Structure 1
Amino acid sequence: MPTTRRRGMTEQAATAAIDQACRALRLPTIRAQFPDIAETAGRDQMSYHGFLAELLMAECDDRARRRSERRIKAAAFPREKSLRGFDFDENSNVDPAVIHALATCEWVKKGLPLCLIGDSGTGKSHLLIALGTEAAMAGFRVKYTLATKLVNELVEAADDLMLTKTIARYGRVGLLCIDELGYMELDRRGAELLFQVLTEREEKASVALASNESFAGWTKTFTDPRLCAAIVDRLTFGGNIIETGTESYRLAHSRRVQDDAARERRKR
């Protein structure tokens, strides 16, 4: 049906019509922000084109924000971590320029791996989650998991004859973040299943991994030397390796807090 141009509508009728149209067209941001943007447009004598652009850009920006929030939620990060919250001064082993270059997500776009290696408390999990969050905000599908949890899921899937489907599901995400590799020894079957996931993603989609063991120590996790070498090869070829060091800055921070509190008590 041809549209009918409505002339001579009162302000109240026009406002009601805008509200109704926004509901029908599912434009919640325009519906919510229209009164304020209209007031600003009138005060600043904005053109009709400028006013419409402000409304549409507000809707687009809010939709992009909501999509990012959904991707971050779907990633299943255990806690919120950001690059802004990482204290580079406390960990001189980590080069801020390298991390901020990784935050552009070019490595994710190219399907390259990332390995974060360091002792507990050195910030590797913080960086893993923060860079994963940056990737989700950049539009990539991201999935976070613990190494042992992933292996257990793969073993159960194999027992239920669902392994191919499970590996394919992990293969579809743009970035797979695997945390806490090296804390537990994996039996041969578990290691082989993890190897299948890595092979499925090789040179197609990125894997970011955090481990408390150096590559030389991975034989404690993957007891088959040949399989261990193959896994290391897939996680390092063409990728980035960030060594976060051996000194826990979490522990150092806690000690400083305790020392500061003790000094305050002595002053009293």
Structure 2
Amino acid sequence: MKHSIYQQLHLPYLEAALPQLLQEASTQQWTYETLLQRALATEVEGREQKAIARRLKAARLPSTKTLEGFDFSFQPSLSERRLRELADLSFVRTCTNIVFLGPPGTGKTHLSLALANRALTAGHSVLFTTLSELSHALSTASHPGLVRSRLRRYITPSVLVIDEVGYTTLSQEQARYFFELVTARYEHGSIILTSNTSFAGWGTLLGDEVLATALLDRLLHHAEVIAVNGRSYRMKERQTDRASVSAPSEAALSATSVVPTGVR
């Protein structure tokens, strides 16, 4: 079957949009130059949107978060200006790591996902994982070749998000794989990491103080460490939900204030 000129030139988005473009060109009396520019812009935009969708699928982000959706007023210890500066993505270009440290529920994952989403939109490759998932994937590989293949999966992206560091103590083998990954990405790609465990506790986490020191040396050499020590968003939401359930409605208050006729 003979392919159309659009298929031969690989212009699927222009082919789909051309009837509408021609109608607008006729109605608004575009010049040939304007029509050509709009046609090419349509194809470029279509390709960019497809590329973003492909990167988003590969990134495996559990949800879409933004800095605009983060309540900085609830975490006054955080510098909004600093996060906005990180959002310009210079950390990706310089292969700088970002480490969010703090107790559970304070917004560390939200911030890491917001920066990851910004990187995706700008055209960078991203992969999200938890330390538990990462460790399990590497330690269950059945042969060395599969280990190398899975390691490449985590080494390749421009930005690797490792969430929930500190929730699981690693085996000796898992700790070694974690060290190999951080070493492989050192000065070659950015890591965004969230942890509820201070660096002093990483020896226990990895089961090896010497290995933990060597890993942290590489992780923190080029890194922005951001402490998130405020209140828990989840506790805030739970308290709000409880308040809404326990608080009587306006209608109920009005009803209880009415005194029946003849009763004093």
TM-score between the two structures when normalised by the length of structure 2? 0.86
Of the candidates 88, 92, 109, which is equivalent to residue 72 of structure 2?
88
Structure 1 unaligned residues grouped into runs of 5+: 1-18
What corresponds to 2:90 in structure 1?
Answer: 106
1:127 aligned onto 2:111: yes
Of the candidates 17, 20, 32, which is equivalent to residue 16 of structure 2?
32
Q: Distance in 2 between matches of 1:24 and 1:261?
A: 62
Structure 2 unaligned residues grouped into runs of 5+: 253-264
Secondary structure of the equivalent of 1:221? helix
What corresponds to 1:240 in structure 2?
Answer: 224
What are the within-5 Å matches in structure 2 for residues 171-210 of structure 1? 171-210=155-194
Deviations 1:117-137 (A, max 9, x none): 111111111111221121122
Secondary structure of the equivalent of 1:22? helix
Deviations 1:146-183 (A, max 9, x none): 101111222123x4122333323322221111111100
What corresponds to 2:42 in structure 1?
Answer: 58
Is the contact between residue 127 and residue 157 of structure 2 (CA under 8 Å) also seen in structure 1?
A: yes
Secondary structure of the equivalent of 1:213? coil
What corresponds to 1:255 in structure 2?
Answer: 239
Deviations 1:12-69 (A, max 9, x none): xxxxxxx943344342322232233223222332210111101111110121111011
Q: Distance in 1 between matches of 2:27 and 2:77?
A: 53
Q: Distance in 2 between matches of 1:254 and 1:267?
A: 24
Q: Distance in 2 between matches of 1:203 and 1:212?
A: 25
Secondary structure of the equivalent of 1:245? coil
Secondary structure of the equivalent of 2:247? helix
Q: Distance in 1 between matches of 2:233 and 2:239?
A: 10
Q: Distance in 1 between matches of 2:157 and 2:235?
A: 35
Secondary structure of the equivalent of 2:192? strand
Deviation at 1:263, TM superposition (A): 3.2
Secondary structure of the equivalent of 1:89? helix
Q: Distance in 2 between matches of 1:167 and 1:262?
A: 51
What corresponds to 1:76 in structure 2?
Answer: 60
Of the candidates 152, 166, 170, which is equivalent to residue 168 of structure 1?
152
TM-score between the two structures when normalised by the length of structure 1? 0.85
Number of residues of Structure 1 aligned to a counterpart in Structure 2? 249
Give the 3 Å change call, closer, same or farther, for CA 227–266 of structure 1 in structure 2: farther
User: Identical aligned pairs, as a percentage?
Assistant: 31
Which amino acid in 2 is paired with 1:195? F
